[in-house]
Chains A and B, each alone.
Chain A
Amino acid sequence: MARLRWHRLWAMARKEAIQLRRDRRSLILAFLLPVLLLVLFGYAITWDVRDIRTAVLNQDHSASARELLDAFRASGYFSLLRQLSRPEQIAPLLDGASVQLVLVIPPDFSTNLNSGRPAELQAIVDGSDANTATIILGYTRAIVQTYSLRVQGMGQPVVVPVRAEGRVWYNEELSSRNMIVPGLVAVIMMIIAAMLTSLTIAREWERGTMEQLAATPVSRLEVVLGKLLPYVAIGLIDVVLTSLLGVFLFGVPFRGSALLFMGLSALFLTGALGLGIVISALGRSQLLATQIAMIVTFLPGFVLSGFMYSISVMPKPLQLVTFLVPARYFLVVTRGIFLKGVGAEVLYVQGLLMIAFAVLGLLFAVRAFRKELD
């Protein structure tokens, strides 16, 4: 069934390339879209928690209370929006989500502090966004701790018995952009790749040119590979463009080997494009093919690739599902090469997985792609 002759494969690839060249709009989209998306989202999305909208109910108008609030202000993470005068004001503010955090300083705050009894600060956080709430509470805790040590230190030197010295590797300033940009390159390329190819075969079916292809001696494998080749070339150019943007526009470090990166990119693209061909061969009509392509690539690309949600905390069966998402492998590669600067000795695992994915995908594509017109 699957014979492979180089000259026929080459002819098929040339036909596809000519067709692509004539289809100006698709071509422009194929190059412009990834760049546009990366620029847009590289600027727009971030996970850094800044400017936490905070309201304060200060029932103890003392110097120490003001000092504590100054510490919050000086940290740069909180924007103290409102001074409240009554506790009843708290609920409507949190209900309407106009503030994220309410700090309550009770009337006996400074009295307790001055007499050596533990003073109390209440922090009420809007917990609905659990992730943001966790980070907000972390910042709050750190500020309160620093303040306490300073107050206690007034009389005698305070030695903390154990101190954690935290260091962050690969992304020292913990900027979410460094995490998002290499991730976006992987996710965008997966979606674009599947989209590009999912249209090409469905289109041949609808236009009836598939019959002409069937009348030629070209084998199924040659059709699939021939259709793939021009798109791999486009995809590689896209990867280079987006990576350059990431480095020069967004200042994301590129610490690894560019050559290794290109090689692994080619593997990834073959798999992702193969996925698109499987979808289009299954869908037959453009309507169904596009619907399947959107459903299979879009949200899974973002959610199941490890782009934002760690795969390791997902339930085991779902972790297995993530192996069907090609961006999952490539994401490890982009982050590894951009941020960690690791080489083949680490990334060979992902390389092998991507080869397996590409081969299985192509086999499946060839099978699903019935050349016979039944």
Chain B
Amino acid sequence: MLPASLARIREVVRKEFLQLFRDPRLWRVMFLAPVLQLIIFGYALSTDLHDTATVLVDLDNSQASRALVDAFTASGYFRIVGRSNRPADLVNALDHGDARVGIEIPPDFSVHLRDGSGAVVQIVFDGTDSNTATVAQSYAERIVQNFAQQIVGGARLAVELRERAWFNPNLVSRDYNVPAVAGAIVFLMCLLLTSLAVVREREIGTLEQLMVSPLSAYELIAGKTIPFALVGLIDVLLVTGAAVFWFRVPFEGSFALLMLASLLYVLSGLGLGLLVSTSSKTQQEAFLTTFLIFMPTILLSGLMFPVNSMPKVFQWLTYLNPMRHYLEIVRGIFLKGAGLNALWYQFAALLVLGVGLLGFAAGRFRKRTD
């Protein structure tokens, strides 16, 4: 019976391919949109801080205060967008959002510096963007510290900190974010492709025609999955290519391992989409469900918000999220060159989720058609 079953699956695959490639607009959605999205988001997803708009109120206006300001601008993290000698202007600039940081150097700055009683420089941060504020604060403190060190001359701190950042020595956030957003885009494509696949046939009425054919539920699901899996894998190749060749993200690990992970990931995405599709009555219902699923999938994946900052309950929930595991794999493979010995656990989770979701979708489909 097996050859006959394979032949039937082949025919469904052929039918799906014909349907997919008839609409040229769908083509663009499938292959052009992911690459375009990656390129746009790749540039946007940067948490690196540079040229932060800074307003300066230098009430001292001495050589020393100018040297301090130079230290700020030379760092590249801060850019002076406004100077004034009235503190009220500082308030205004932050209120209007013209500046994110305000530096106020008091009139007695150089006096205190000279007599050794300790000068103080006030730095105000706009906390509405808490992340930028935290990072800017740490840069500003370091700049002032270095400035102080130079004045003291040879005297150094009792404990010297030697910092090293592994895997990403220059701390470029893009290298961390681009592979991950590529993964998110692929998942969105998988969901979009499959979530309407079955329910559309139901609405149009062609599902009944399929049901009177000798196809079993598993054959139909397999036939519907294979073409979409191919599309998904091509998308993976496209976005990975864009990440490596366009954004020059270092690729340290094994390509074969990445493709294996992508296959499992694409299958779990397709399984989820098919599950939505087989359990919805109308396309609208399927769309709303997809929307409801995609939002937590993205936000609880570690793409934008680190998983281990979440409350414990949500951290447990993320284990059910295929995207969380896949993102750990791609980030590991791209930046750390990690192999199966470090990532076996994520692979196992993806395997379980992929097989489970596809099997569940097929099972539900059979029950509904009986």
> Which residues of chain A have a CB within 8 Å of any CB of chain B?
25-26, 29, 33, 37, 40-41, 43-51, 53, 68, 92, 94-97, 113, 118-135, 137-142, 144-145, 147-149, 151-152, 159-172, 174-176, 178-179, 191, 195, 199, 203, 286-288, 290-292, 294-295, 298-300, 302-304, 308-310, 312-315, 318, 321, 332, 335-336, 339-340, 342, 346
The answer on a CB contact under 8 Å between B328 and A97 is yes
- Tell me which residues across on chain A come within 8 A of B310, comparing CB atoms: 44-46
Residue B37 interfacial (CB < 8 Å): yes
Most chain A CB inside 10 Å of its own CB: which residue of B144, B167, B298, B335: B167
For chain B, residues 151 to 165, give those with C-beta under 8 angstroms from any C-beta of chain A.
151-152, 156-165
The answer on a CB contact under 8 Å between A309 and B47 is yes
Most chain B CB inside 10 Å of its own CB: which residue of A126, A139, A291, A315: A291
Q: Which of A51, A129, A164, A315 contacts B43 (CB 8 A)?
A: A315
The answer on a CB contact under 8 Å between A346 and B130 is no
Most chain A CB inside 10 Å of its own CB: which residue of B118, B128, B163, B184: B128
The answer on a CB contact under 8 Å between B127 and A318 is no
- Tell me which residues across on chain B come within 8 A of A147, comparing CB atoms: 158-159
The answer on a CB contact under 8 Å between A95 and B336 is yes
Which residue of chain A has its CB nearest to the CB of B174? Answer: A130
| Alpha-carbon distance A29/B296, docked complex (angstroms) | 16
- Tell me which residues across on chain B come within 8 A of A129, comparing CB atoms: 173, 176, 306
| Alpha-carbon distance A118/B155, docked complex (angstroms) | 10
- Tell me which residues across on chain A come within 8 A of B33, comparing CB atoms: 295
For chain B, residues 124 to 145, give those with C-beta under 8 angstroms from any C-beta of chain A.
124-135, 137-138, 140-142, 144-145
- Tell me which residues across on chain A come within 8 A of B304, comparing CB atoms: 45, 302, 308
The answer on a CB contact under 8 Å between A127 and B169 is yes
The answer on a CB contact under 8 Å between B342 and A312 is no
Interchain nearest-CB distance for A69 vs B (Å):
12
Which residue of chain A has its CB nearest to the CB of B135? Answer: A134
The answer on a CB contact under 8 Å between A96 and B159 is no
- Tell me which residues across on chain B come within 8 A of A151, comparing CB atoms: 158-159
Q: Which of A132, A163, A178 contacts B119 (CB 8 A)?
A: A163
- Tell me which residues across on chain A come within 8 A of B70, comparing CB atoms: none
| Alpha-carbon distance A8/B326, docked complex (angstroms) | 53
Interchain nearest-CB distance for B47 vs A (Å):
4
The answer on a CB contact under 8 Å between B43 and A118 is no
The answer on a CB contact under 8 Å between A128 and B123 is no
Interface of B is mostly: helix
The answer on a CB contact under 8 Å between A346 and B163 is no
- Tell me which residues across on chain B come within 8 A of A161, comparing CB atoms: 113, 116, 118-119, 148, 151-152
Which residue of chain B has its CB nearest to the CB of A129? Answer: B176
| Alpha-carbon distance A122/B161, docked complex (angstroms) | 6
Interchain nearest-CB distance for B332 vs A (Å):
7
The answer on a CB contact under 8 Å between B125 and A169 is yes
Interchain nearest-CB distance for B155 vs A (Å):
9
- Tell me which residues across on chain A come within 8 A of B173, comparing CB atoms: 129-131
Residue B175 interfacial (CB < 8 Å): yes
Residue B8 interfacial (CB < 8 Å): no
- Tell me which residues across on chain B come within 8 A of A126, comparing CB atoms: 165-167
- Tell me which residues across on chain A come within 8 A of B26, comparing CB atoms: 288
Residue B49 interfacial (CB < 8 Å): yes
**Given A96-B342, A130-B176, A286-B284, 5 further pairs, Cβ under 8 A:** A127-B167, A140-B163, A141-B141, A149-B158, A299-B37
The answer on a CB contact under 8 Å between B129 and A310 is yes
Interchain nearest-CB distance for B121 vs A (Å):
6
Interchain nearest-CB distance for B207 vs A (Å):
15
The answer on a CB contact under 8 Å between A159 and B117 is yes
| Alpha-carbon distance A48/B310, docked complex (angstroms) | 9
> Which residues of chain B have a CB within 8 Å of any CB of chain A?
25-26, 29, 33, 37, 40-41, 43-53, 68, 94-97, 100, 113, 116-135, 137-138, 140-142, 144-145, 147-148, 151-152, 156-169, 171-173, 175-176, 181, 184-185, 188, 192, 196, 200, 283-285, 287-288, 290-292, 294-296, 298-300, 304-306, 308-311, 314, 328, 331-332, 335-336, 338, 342
The answer on a CB contact under 8 Å between A44 and B95 is no
- Tell me which residues across on chain B come within 8 A of A298, comparing CB atoms: 188, 294-295, 298
| Alpha-carbon distance A189/B74, docked complex (angstroms) | 41
- Tell me which residues across on chain B come within 8 A of A286, comparing CB atoms: 283-284, 287
The answer on a CB contact under 8 Å between A130 and B164 is no
The answer on a CB contact under 8 Å between A135 and B138 is yes
Top 4 A-B residue pairs of the complex, sorted by shortest distance between their CB atoms? A138-B138, A127-B165, A171-B127, A127-B168
The answer on a CB contact under 8 Å between A309 and B46 is yes
The answer on a CB contact under 8 Å between B287 and A44 is no
- Tell me which residues across on chain B come within 8 A of A26, comparing CB atoms: 284, 288
- Tell me which residues across on chain B come within 8 A of A120, comparing CB atoms: 159-160, 162
The answer on a CB contact under 8 Å between A174 and B124 is no
The answer on a CB contact under 8 Å between B287 and A199 is yes
The answer on a CB contact under 8 Å between B46 and A313 is yes
The answer on a CB contact under 8 Å between A164 and B123 is yes
A118-B159, A166-B123 are known contacts. Are A43 and B53 too (CB-CB below 8 A)? no
What are 28 A-B pairs at a CB distance below 8 A? Answer: A29-B288, A44-B314, A45-B300, A92-B342, A94-B167, A118-B159, A119-B158, A119-B159, A120-B160, A122-B161, A122-B162, A128-B176, A130-B168, A134-B135, A144-B157, A161-B148, A163-B144, A165-B123, A178-B127, A179-B131, A286-B287, A288-B29, A299-B181, A303-B44, A303-B181, A304-B44, A312-B52, A335-B128
- Tell me which residues across on chain B come within 8 A of A303, comparing CB atoms: 41, 44-45, 181
- Tell me which residues across on chain A come within 8 A of B48, comparing CB atoms: 130, 313
- Tell me which residues across on chain B come within 8 A of A137, comparing CB atoms: 138, 163, 165
| Alpha-carbon distance A336/B68, docked complex (angstroms) | 31
The answer on a CB contact under 8 Å between A314 and B43 is yes
- Tell me which residues across on chain B come within 8 A of A308, comparing CB atoms: 47, 131, 304
| Alpha-carbon distance A48/B116, docked complex (angstroms) | 37
| Alpha-carbon distance A128/B338, docked complex (angstroms) | 12
| Alpha-carbon distance A312/B49, docked complex (angstroms) | 10
| Alpha-carbon distance A159/B166, docked complex (angstroms) | 35
The answer on a CB contact under 8 Å between B130 and A166 is no
- Tell me which residues across on chain B come within 8 A of A166, comparing CB atoms: 123-125, 137, 140-141
